[in-house]
Chain A
Amino acid sequence: MINGPDGLTGAIMAIESIPGATVLLHGPGGCRIRNSLLSMALVPREDRVWGAYREPFYAGYSRVPASYIDGEDFVGGAVHRLEEALEVVRREGAELIAIIDSPGASLMADDHRRAMSDLGMDDDVIVMDGQTMSAPMRRTYGRTLGEVLRRLSLGSGPVRKGTVCILGLTVLDPCWEDVLEEFSAYLGDMGLEVLCSPGAGASVSDLRRSVEAEYCVTVCPESSDGVSGFYRDAGVEVVCPDDAPVGFDSTRRWILDVAEATGRDPSVALERLGRREGRARRKADGMRYGMMRIEGMTFSACAPPSVLRPLASWLGGLGMVPVSLIEEDANPSRMVPADIVFCDGNTALRMESGRRCRASVSTGGAVLGSDGFVTRTIYGSAGAEHILDTVLRASRGR
Chain B
Amino acid sequence: MFQLAVYGKGGIGKSTMSANISLMLAQRGHRVMQIGCDPKHDSTRLLLGGGSQRTVLDYVREVPEGDRRLEDVMVEGSGGVLCIESGGPEPGIGCAGRGILTAFETIGRLGADRAGADVRLYDVLGDVVCGGFAVPLREENADGVIIVTSGEFMALYAANNIMKGIRRFTPERPRLIGIVLNSRGVEGEEETVGRFAAATGTRVIATVPRDRLFASAEAAGRTVCELFPGSDAAKAVGAVVDRIEDVISGAGMDIPSPLDDDQLSDLAAGREIRPGRRNAVDLPACPGCARSTSRRQKYSCASCGAVMALARLRDSAVIIHGLRSCAYLMDSAYLSTVADLYTGGVYDDPMPDNIYCTCMDDSAAIFGGADSLRGTMESAYADGFREVAVVTTCVSGMIGDDCDAVARGFRSSHPDVGTTVLSTDGVINGDYLEGTDAAVSELIRSIDPSVGPVPGEVNLIGASFFDLQCPDAAAELRRMLGVFGLRVNCRLLDDTTMGSVRGFCRGTVDILLNEDRASDFEDRVAARLGRSRERVRLPTGPYEYAGWLRRMSEVTGIPCEAEEDWARSMTSRFMEDHRDVFEGRRIVLSTVIPRNMDWLVDALTDMGAVIVRFGYAKGPDERCGVTVRYRDMLTFDYGKKGMSEDWDALHPDLLLYDLDIPDGYPGRSMRLSRIGPGVVPPLRLLGSISDALSTGSRGCTE
Contact in complex: B299, A29 (CB < 8 Å) = yes
State which of A130-138, A228-236, A256-264 sits at the interface with chain B.
Answer: A130-138
Interface window among A99-107, A216-224, A283-291: A99-107
Which among A108-116, A193-201, A207-215 touches the partner chain? A108-116
Interface residues of B in 278-311 (CB under 8 A from A): 284-286, 288-293, 295, 297-301, 303-304
CA distance A30 to B320 in the complex (A): 14
B343 touches A6 (CB 8 A): no
Instruction: Give A108 to B399 CA distance when docked, in angstroms.
Output: 11
A352 at the interface (CB under 8 A from B): yes
Cross-chain contact of A29 among B131, B292, B301, B328 (Cβ < 8 A): B301
How far is the CB of A295 from the nearest CB of chain B, in Å? 26
Q: Which residues of B lie under 8 Å from residue A130 when comparing CB positions?
A: 105
Contact call A107/B360, Cβ cutoff below 8 A: no
Stretch of A68-76, A178-186, A315-323, A373-381 contacting B (4+ beta carbons < 8 Å): A68-76
Residues 29-56 of chain B, each 1 if its beta carbon lies under 8 Å from chain A, else 0: 0000000000000000000000000000
Known: A33-B299, A349-B335, A353-B339. A131 touches B105 (CB 8 A): yes
A8 to B443 CA separation, bound complex (whole angstroms): 32
Interface size range of chain B in the complex = 35 or more
Shortest distance between the CB of B390 and any CB in chain A (Å): 14
Question: Is B331's CB within 8 Å of the partner chain A?
Answer: yes
Chain A, range 79-136, C-beta contacts under 8 Å to B: 79-81, 84-85, 102-104, 106-111, 113-114, 129-135
Chain A residues within an 8 Å CB radius of B649: none
From B101, B324, B359, B426, A104 is in contact (CB under 8 Å) with: B426
Q: Does B301 contact A350, Cβ atoms closer than 8 Å?
A: no
Which of A8, A34, A355 interacts with B350 by CB under 8 Å? A355
Whether A133 contacts B290 by the Cβ 8 Å rule is: no
Bound-complex Cα distance A3 to B331 (A): 7
Query: In the complex the two chains form, is A5's CB within 8 Å of B135's CB?
Result: no
Q: How far is the CA of A351 from the CA of B350 in the complex (A)?
A: 10
Interface residues in B305-353 by Cβ distance below 8 A to A read: 323-325, 327-329, 331-333, 335-336, 338-340, 342-343, 350-353
In the complex, chain A residues whose CB is within 8 Å of the CB of B361: 131, 133-135
Residues on B with C-beta less than 8 A from A76 are 285-286, 289
Q: Contact between A84 and B292 (Cβ–Cβ < 8 Å)?
A: yes
B130 within 8 A of A: yes
Contact A1 B356 (CB under 8 A): yes
User: A346 to B288, alpha carbons, bound, how many Å?
Assistant: 40
Complex CA–CA separation, A74 to B351 (angstroms): 36
Question: Do B351 and A353 have beta carbons less than 8 Å apart?
Answer: yes
- Most-contacted residue by chain B among A68, A113, A129 (CB, 10 A): A68
Which residues of the partner chain A approach B395 to less than 8 Å between Cβ atoms? 103-104, 107, 133
Write the chain B residue with the least CB distance to A81.
B292
Asked if A397 is at the interface of the complex by the 8 Å CB criterion, the answer is: no
Contact indicator A67/B292 (Cβ below 8 Å): yes
- A interface footprint on B174-187 (CB within 8 Å = 1, 0 otherwise): 00000000000000
Minimum CB–CB distance from B346 to chain A (whole Å) comes to 11
Q: Does A146 contact B (CB under 8 A)?
A: no
From A110, which residue of chain B is reached at the shortest CB distance? B131
**1/0 contact string of A327-366 vs chain B (CB within 8 Å):** 0000110100000000000100111111110000000010
Given contacts A80-B284, A109-B132, A353-B342, contact A369 B336 (CB under 8 A): yes
Type the 1/0 row for A239-250, where 1 means its CB is closer than 8 Å to any CB of B.
000000000000
Contact indicator B328/A113 (Cβ below 8 Å): no
Decide if A78 is an interface residue (CB 8 Å cutoff).
Answer: yes
Q: How far is the CB of A70 from chain B (nearest CB, A)?
A: 5
Contact between A51 and B660 (Cβ–Cβ < 8 Å)? yes
- Which residues of the partner chain A approach B100 to less than 8 Å between Cβ atoms? 109
- Say yes or no for B558: interface residue by CB 8 A criterion: no
- On whether the beta carbons of B399 and A34 are closer than 8 Å, the reply is no
Q: Are B303 and A30 in contact (CB under 8 A)?
A: yes
Q: Does A304 contact B (CB under 8 A)?
A: no
Which residue of chain B lies nearest to A130 when distances are taken between CB atoms in the complex? B105
* A25 nearest CB across to chain B (Å): 11
* In the complex, B476 has a CB within 8 A of chain A: no
Say yes or no for A152: interface residue by CB 8 A criterion: no
- In the complex, which residues of chain B have a beta carbon less than 8 angstroms from the beta carbon of A354? 342, 350-353
Asked, given contacts A80-B292, A103-B325, whether A134 binds B339 with beta carbons under 8 Å apart, the answer is no
* A132 vs B328: C-alpha distance when bound (angstroms): 13
Min CB distance A393 to B, Å, is: 14
Would you give the shortest CB distance from A17 to chain B, in whole angstroms? 18
Which of B140, B303, B323, B332 touches A368 (beta carbons < 8 Å)? Answer: B332
Q: When chains A and B are docked, how far (Å) is the Cα of A130 from the Cα of B338?
A: 34
Chain B residues with Cβ under 8 A from A132's Cβ? 325
B244 interface residue (CB < 8 Å to A) = no
A103 to B328, CA, bound (A): 14
Once the chains bind, are A367 and B332 in contact (CB under 8 Å)?
Answer: yes
Report the Cα distance A323→B140, complex, angstroms. Answer: 52
Given A70-B298, A78-B292, A80-B285, A30 contacting B329 (CB threshold 8 A): yes
Say if the beta carbon of B500 comes within 8 Å of chain A. Answer: no
Chain B residue with minimal CB distance to A108? B131
Q: Say yes or no for A31: interface residue by CB 8 A criterion.
A: yes
Q: For B95, what are the chain A residues with a Cβ–Cβ distance below 8 Å?
A: 107
| CB neighbours of B426 from chain A (8 A) | 28, 30, 104
The minimal Cβ–Cβ distance linking B41 to chain A, given in whole angstroms, is: 20
A390 CB → nearest B CB, Å: 15
Residues on B with C-beta less than 8 A from A133 are 323, 360-362, 364-365, 395
- In the docked arrangement, what's the CA distance between A68 and B343, Å? 35
Q: How far is the CA of A320 from the CA of B343 in the complex (A)?
A: 25
A77 adjacent to chain B (CB < 8 Å) = yes
Query: In the complex, which residue of chain B has the Cβ closest to the Cβ of A335?
Result: B353
Q: Flag whether B224 is at the interface (Cβ < 8 A).
A: no
Closest residue of chain A to B295 (Cβ to Cβ) is A70
Give the distance to chain A from B63, nearest Cβ to Cβ, in Å. 15
Q: In the assembled complex, which residues on chain B have CB atoms less than 8 Å from the CB atom of A352?
A: 339, 343
A91 and B621 alpha carbons, distance in the complex (Å): 36
- Contact flags B128-159 to A (C-beta < 8 A → 1, else 0): 00111011001110000000000000000000
Interface pair B427/A109, CB less than 8 Å apart: no
B362/A131 in contact, CB under 8 A: yes
Q: How far, in angstroms, from A9 to B102 measured CA to CA in the complex?
A: 20
B328 pairs with A6, CB closer than 8 A: yes
A29 in contact with B339 (CB, 8 Å): no
Q: Which residues of B, 413-469, contact A by the 8 Å Cβ criterion?
A: 425-429, 431-432
> Are B342 and A31 neighbours in the complex by a CB distance under 8 Å?
no
Query: Known interface pairs A30-B426, A70-B427. Does A350 touch B339 (Cβ–Cβ under 8 Å)?
Result: yes
**Counting CB contacts under 8 A, is A310 at the interface?**
no
Contact with B along A137-179 (1 / 0, CB 8 A): 0000000000000000000000000000000000000000000
How distant is the Cα of A137 from the Cα of B365 in the complex, in angstroms?
Answer: 19
Q: A7 interface residue, CB < 8 Å from B? A: yes
- Check: B357 CB closer than 8 A to any chain A CB: yes
Task: State whether B288 touches A72 (Cβ < 8 A).
Answer: yes
Q: Is B353 within 8 A of A107, CB to CB?
A: no
Check if B427 sits within 8 Å of A33, measured CB to CB. Answer: no
Which B residues lie within 8 Å of A278 (CB)?
A: none
Alpha-carbon gap, A365 to B431, bound state (A): 26
> Is B164 in the interface zone, CB < 8 Å from A?
no
A353 and B350 form a contact (CB under 8 A): yes
Q: Is the CB of B329 within 8 A of A31?
A: yes
Find A80's partner among B290, B299, B336, B338 (CB 8 Å cutoff). B290
Q: Does B398 contact A (CB under 8 A)?
A: yes
Distance in angstroms between the alpha carbons of A132 and B395 in the assembled complex: 13
* 25 CB < 8 A contacts A-B: A29-B431, A30-B303, A30-B432, A33-B300, A68-B298, A70-B428, A74-B394, A76-B289, A77-B285, A84-B293, A103-B325, A103-B394, A104-B395, A104-B398, A104-B427, A106-B98, A109-B98, A109-B101, A109-B130, A109-B135, A133-B364, A135-B361, A353-B351, A369-B336, A370-B339
Chain B residues engaging chain A, CB cutoff 8 angstroms: 95, 97-98, 100-102, 105, 130-132, 134-135, 138-140, 168-169, 284-286, 288-293, 295, 297-301, 303-304, 323-325, 327-329, 331-333, 335-336, 338-340, 342-343, 350-353, 355-357, 359-362, 364-365, 383, 393-395, 398-399, 425-429, 431-432, 660
